[in-house]
Structure 1
Amino acid sequence: MSDFFERVTQISSRSKVAERQALTEEATKTSVILPFLQALGFDVFNLDEVIPEFIADVGTKKGEKVDFAVKIDGKIAMLIEAKPVNAKLGDVQFNQLFRYFSVTEARLAILTNGREAWFFSDTDEPNKMDKRPFFKFDFQNFDKDQVEELARFQKPNFAIEAIVEAASNLKYTRAAANYLRKQLEDPDDDFIRLIGRQIHEGSITKNVSEQLRPAVQAALDEVIRDRIQDKLGVAFSGEKRAAAEPEAAPVAETAANTDDIVTTEDEIAGHLIVRAIAARHVPVDRISIRDAKSYCAILMDDNNRKPICRLYFNSNTTRHVGIFDADKSEARHKVTGPQDLYQFTDELETVIKAYL
């Protein structure tokens, strides 16, 4: 897996270069898409594995081409349509993929611009490509779990039934997550009635539904907050155990420990809370902590030029948190402790997304 991760990292570097220099679809194919297929284990110079400009006549339409067809064991396994790296995949038309999907053996189709790759299958209707991708991979912003998902498409691992089953699971998981996210933000009447039938005796009339709505919303917030607190408690316990059993530090670091900077438990807790808030948008290991004498900084990518917030927790009487905006202007707010960071979830998410 580490070897595959390294290959994907190399594709990521190519994608970033292509975004600056590749001006055409052909340049994108050469610089990113063909190396991507190679990273998956396919021989791009072997026409028995990768067929460029693949032709499959559809009805009265003759001579139309899809950019690549990938064969495994002599059968068409994947169709790939390429777009220029500066094209937004959500805006492009990919009609060839839809048409060719139904007249070939392929059950997998990839739309890519060298910046992202969108994966489609036929989980809704057999032999008909789904309108929505079941998996999206961003070559320039990914984590270990996403690379593990991408590894399913390597030639040595390729098992179409397992891929389609995973695609179906991902589709339903994504749909359920989207539904629950919508209910968290603004629960609809059906959701209120569903909960209401479990907690209210009698009919759920419109008036009853409106009376229950704020209670349901508050309960959802409480459940999410408790789940986060539970996870933070586990992580925080791990931090304290690690602190209680320090490894022997190299002699060269001894001098650095003589300064007066001590990262407190509240600062560690604040860091973990910001990580929890950021987890909806970025891998949590991108949220770093860097302590100083007067404040504790929470940064994106451990980069001073990407400040998220500062924790002013050193005073025994008055505490503040400084929240940065997209222009890196800091606004200070009085708080009682790290738990108050949840009050600034929207502001924290805004600055985090600004650095993506």
Structure 2
Amino acid sequence: MELKLKLEQLHQRVNGLKDQINTEEATKNAFVMPFIQILGYDIFNPTEVIPEHICDIGTKKGEKIDYVIKKNNEPILIFECKHWKENADAHNSQLHRYYHVSKARFGVLTNGTIYNFYSDLEKPNIMDEKPFLTIDIEDLKDSSIKILESFTKNEYNLENILDSAEALKYIKAIRKEFEKDIENPSDEIVKLLVSRFFDKPLTASRMATFKEYTKKALTTSINESISYRLKSALNINEKIEQSDDGKTNPVDVHPEVSKVVTTAEELEAFQIVKAILREKIPSDRISPRDTQSYFGILLDDNNRKPICRFHFNTSKKYLETFQTGKMPEKKYC
């Protein structure tokens, strides 16, 4: 995906320059303008990307929005930018005022690393309080990048974006509430679930007990689902385990009889290593490979390119790392 590759390159640029960017203006020049350019707009064409656009608000004259993006001479996006150290969510009231007097249907509030996209899904010409799309270049998600493609110069289509914006907004809200209930189940969700199999009155003590049960049940279900999906994604049924001597040995890993168990601890460790490696390596090149004796991380899903292995099934847990031309190093936990 070309857009994703460009955003990952921008992420590397941002990380390399952060400590030298001391002002909001420098943030705009070093981080935000390249982002706009990645979307396909000509940052050197003042009729397409208009910096410091005058945006009078009532009696306030001379108010300026950082950037207005135009297509076919019509404003489609407005950008309000802050210094990269500032919270991208803390200044939406300012963007809200600019949005009200702008003809653009979308506003973007950014600190150069996080880009919050707003629209007027609740009330016409009044910007919503919550963004319907967030792009974090330090944590790029394929689903978000797919929506972002609709904002590129070549793919921009107002109707298509509006059709999906409402769904994105409410899916995000529902997911947030669901994640809250996983962490701390509400009385409502506990009552809803328990009432389907428990017909006795829910006293205060029973409610407290069932809250703990619900939390454990939801967490276990999600962890097991992640483990199963991981194995499915790796096509474990068809894969083979490569032994150290180079010979290939078929492995019976049918989900019902497999002796390979991917634990939540191994998945968490994989995510940590992946987050570290993403600074230098595109995330789609980092692949997990679970076996009976260890959980491995490979480059390009190639057994001959091991990065590290987690040995968490031993009495003393340790991490095994690999470097070209050197013997593996063990680091005990």
* Cα distance change, pair 127–267 in 1 and its aligned pair in 2 (3 A): farther
Amino acid at match of 2:52: E
Instruction: Output the CA distance in 2 between the equivalents of 1:12 and 1:84.
Output: 16
- Structure 2 counterpart of 1:310: 310
Is the Cα–Cα contact under 8 Å of residues 64 and 96 in structure 1 kept in the other structure?
no
- Structure 2 counterpart of 1:183: 181
After TM superposition, give the deviation of residue 163 of structure 1 in Å.
Answer: 1.9
Instruction: Output the CA distance in 1 between the equivalents of 2:315 and 2:237.
Output: 23
- Structure 1 counterpart of 2:122: 124
- Structure 2 counterpart of 1:242: 239
Is the Cα–Cα contact under 8 Å of residues 42 and 49 in structure 1 kept in the other structure?
yes
Instruction: Output the CA distance in 1 between the equivalents of 2:137 and 2:248.
Output: 38
- Structure 2 counterpart of 1:274: 266
> 1:258 aligned to 2:245?
yes
Stretches of structure 1 that go unaligned for 5 or more consecutive residues are 247-255, 332-356
CA distances 1:250-279 after superposition (whole Å, capped 9, x unpaired): xxxxxx953799998789744897337866
After TM superposition, give the deviation of residue 309 of structure 1 in Å.
Answer: 7.8
Is the Cα–Cα contact under 8 Å of residues 287 and 298 in structure 2 kept in the other structure?
yes
Instruction: Output the CA distance in 1 between the equivalents of 2:193 and 2:122.
Output: 30
Stretches of structure 2 that go unaligned for 5 or more consecutive residues are 301-306, 321-330
Instruction: Output the CA distance in 1 between the equivalents of 2:319 and 2:167.
Output: 38
CA distances 1:214-257 after superposition (whole Å, capped 9, x unpaired): 44344434432442354245346x2341218x9xxxxxxxxx95
Instruction: Output the CA distance in 2 between the equivalents of 1:188 and 1:312.
Output: 34
Instruction: Output the CA distance in 1 between the equivalents of 2:295 and 2:216.
Output: 31
Amino acid at match of 2:180: K
Give secondary structure in 1 for the equivalent of 2:138.
coil
After TM superposition, give the deviation of residue 154 of structure 1 in Å.
Answer: 0.2
CA distances 1:320-350 after superposition (whole Å, capped 9, x unpaired): 54489xxxx854xxxxxxxxxxxxxxxxxxx
* Cα distance change, pair 166–210 in 1 and its aligned pair in 2 (3 A): same
Give secondary structure in 1 for the equivalent of 2:18.
helix
* Cα distance change, pair 263–193 in 1 and its aligned pair in 2 (3 A): same
Which deviates more, 185-194 or 14-23?
A: 14-23
Among 134, 137, 144, the alignment partner of 2:135 is 137
Instruction: Output the CA distance in 1 between the equivalents of 2:86 and 2:220.
Output: 42
Instruction: Output the CA distance in 1 between the equivalents of 2:249 and 2:265.
Output: 19
Instruction: Output the CA distance in 2 between the equivalents of 1:42 and 1:268.
Output: 50
Structural mapping, 1:85-164, within 5 Å: 85-90=84-89, 92-164=90-162
Instruction: Output the CA distance in 2 between the equivalents of 1:19 and 1:101.
Output: 29
Instruction: Output the CA distance in 2 between the equivalents of 1:62 and 1:213.
Output: 56
Structure 1 or 2: larger helix share? 1
Instruction: Output the CA distance in 2 between the equivalents of 1:119 and 1:154.
Output: 14
* Cα distance change, pair 58–267 in 1 and its aligned pair in 2 (3 A): farther
Give secondary structure in 2 for the equivalent of 1:132.
coil
* Cα distance change, pair 308–171 in 1 and its aligned pair in 2 (3 A): farther
Q: What is the identity percentage for the equivalent residue pairs of Structure 1 and Structure 2?
A: 28
Instruction: Output the CA distance in 1 between the equivalents of 2:288 and 2:220.
Output: 27
Instruction: Output the CA distance in 2 between the equivalents of 1:272 and 1:189.
Output: 27
Amino acid at match of 1:258: D
Is the Cα–Cα contact under 8 Å of residues 51 and 68 in structure 2 kept in the other structure?
yes
**TM-score normalised over the length of structure 1:** 0.69
Is the Cα–Cα contact under 8 Å of residues 287 and 298 in structure 1 kept in the other structure?
no
Is the Cα–Cα contact under 8 Å of residues 69 and 76 in structure 1 kept in the other structure?
yes
Coordinate RMSD, CA, aligned: 4.1
